[in-house]
Structure 1
Amino acid sequence: MANKQDPPGQPRDESRRQFLKYSGTAIGGVVVGGVIGGLIGANAKQTKTGETPPAGQTDPNKPAQTADRDYNQALMYFNQDQFLTAEAAAERIYPKDESGPGAKELGVAFFIDHQMASSYGLNGREYMSPPFYKSEATQGYQLSFKRRELIALGLDALSLYSNDKYQKGFPDLAPEEQDKVLGDFESDAVHLKGVPASTFFNYFLNLTIEGVYADPLYGGNKNMGGWRMRSFPGNQMSYINDIEKDEFVKMEPLSLSDHLEMG
Structure 2
Amino acid sequence: MAKETKNYSRRDFLKTSGIATGALIGGGIIGGLIGANSNNNNASSNAPAPSGEQHGEGSAGGVRGLIFFKNDAEFQILANATERIFPEDDLGPGAIGLGVPYFIDKQLAGAYGENSKEYMQGPFEEGQTTQGYQSRLKRNEMFRQGLQLMQQEAQSRFETDFVELEGEQMDEILTAFQEDEIEMKGVSALFFFKLLRMATLEGAYADPIYSGNEGMEGWKMKGFPGHQASYINQIESEEYVEIEPKSLGMQH
Per the shorter chain, which TM-score range?
0.7 to 0.9
The alpha-carbon distance between structure 1 residues 22 and 122, as it changes in their structure 2 partners (threshold 3 A), is farther
- Once the two structures are TM-superposed, the CA of residue 16 in structure 1 deviates from its matched residue by 3.6
- For structure 2, which runs of at least 5 residues remain unmatched after alignment? 1-5, 26-57
Q: Which residue of 2 aligns with 1:215?
A: 207
Asked if 2 retains the 8 angstrom alpha-carbon contact of 1:108 and 1:211, the reply is yes
Q: Which residue of 1 aligns with 2:197?
A: 205
Partner amino acid, structure 2, of 1:221 = N
Q: Which residue of 2 aligns with 1:74?
A: 65
Over residues 137-169 of structure 1, what are the superposed CA-to-partner deviations in whole Å (9 max), with x where a residue is unaligned?
332121111111111111111111111111111
- For structure 1, which runs of at least 5 residues remain unmatched after alignment? 1-9, 32-66
The alpha-carbon distance between structure 1 residues 132 and 113, as it changes in their structure 2 partners (threshold 3 A), is same
Over residues 156-203 of structure 1, what are the superposed CA-to-partner deviations in whole Å (9 max), with x where a residue is unaligned?
111111111111111110011111111111111221223211111111
Match of 1:12 among 5, 8, 11: 8
Partner amino acid, structure 2, of 1:11 = N
Q: RMSD of the TM alignment (CA)?
A: 2.3
The alpha-carbon distance between structure 1 residues 138 and 171, as it changes in their structure 2 partners (threshold 3 A), is same
Q: What is the CA–CA distance in structure 1 between the aligned matches of 2:214 and 2:250, rounded to whole Å? A: 14
Match of 1:247 among 239, 242, 246: 239
Asked if 1 retains the 8 angstrom alpha-carbon contact of 2:136 and 2:186, the reply is no
Asked if 2 retains the 8 angstrom alpha-carbon contact of 1:23 and 1:209, the reply is no
Q: What is the CA–CA distance in structure 2 between the aligned matches of 1:192 and 1:135, rounded to whole Å? A: 15
Q: Which residue of 1 aligns with 2:80?
A: 88
Q: What is the CA–CA distance in structure 2 between the aligned matches of 1:250 and 1:139, rounded to whole Å? A: 40
The alpha-carbon distance between structure 1 residues 191 and 106, as it changes in their structure 2 partners (threshold 3 A), is same
Q: What is the CA–CA distance in structure 2 between the aligned matches of 1:172 and 1:160, rounded to whole Å? A: 13
Asked if 2 retains the 8 angstrom alpha-carbon contact of 1:28 and 1:234, the reply is no
Q: Secondary structure at the match of 2:114?
A: coil
Match of 2:21 among 14, 27, 30: 27
Counterparts of 1:42-81 in structure 2 under 5 Å? 69-70=60-61, 73-78=64-69, 79-81=71-73
Over residues 7-29 of structure 1, what are the superposed CA-to-partner deviations in whole Å (9 max), with x where a residue is unaligned?
xxx9223x4456557762x5245
Q: What is the CA–CA distance in structure 1 between the aligned matches of 2:7 and 2:223, rounded to whole Å? A: 23
Residue 162 in structure 1 maps to residue 142 in structure 2: no
Residue 238 in structure 1 maps to residue 230 in structure 2: yes
Q: What is the CA–CA distance in structure 2 between the aligned matches of 1:122 and 1:104, rounded to whole Å? A: 24
Asked if 1 retains the 8 angstrom alpha-carbon contact of 2:11 and 2:91, the reply is no
Match of 1:227 among 213, 219, 227: 219
Number of aligned positions between the proteins: 214
Over residues 45-72 of structure 1, what are the superposed CA-to-partner deviations in whole Å (9 max), with x where a residue is unaligned?
xxxxxxxxxxxxxxxxxxxxxx964356
Q: What is the CA–CA distance in structure 2 between the aligned matches of 1:178 and 1:146, rounded to whole Å? A: 25
Q: What is the CA–CA distance in structure 2 between the aligned matches of 1:72 and 1:110, rounded to whole Å? A: 12
Match of 1:107 among 83, 99, 123: 99
Asked if 2 retains the 8 angstrom alpha-carbon contact of 1:214 and 1:220, the reply is yes
Partner amino acid, structure 1, of 2:173 = V
The alpha-carbon distance between structure 1 residues 184 and 137, as it changes in their structure 2 partners (threshold 3 A), is closer
Q: Which moved more, 1:105-114 or 1:240-249?
A: 240-249
Identity of aligned residues (%): 40
Q: Which moved more, 1:131-140 or 1:187-196?
A: 131-140
Q: Which residue of 1 aligns with 2:131?
A: 139
Over residues 58-93 of structure 1, what are the superposed CA-to-partner deviations in whole Å (9 max), with x where a residue is unaligned?
xxxxxxxxx964356211111211110110000001
Detail structure 1 runs of 4+ shifted over 3 Å in the superposition: 15-23, 28-31
Relative to the length of structure 1, the TM-score reads: 0.75
Relative to the length of structure 2, the TM-score reads: 0.78
Partner amino acid, structure 2, of 1:89 = A
Q: Secondary structure at the match of 1:194?
A: coil
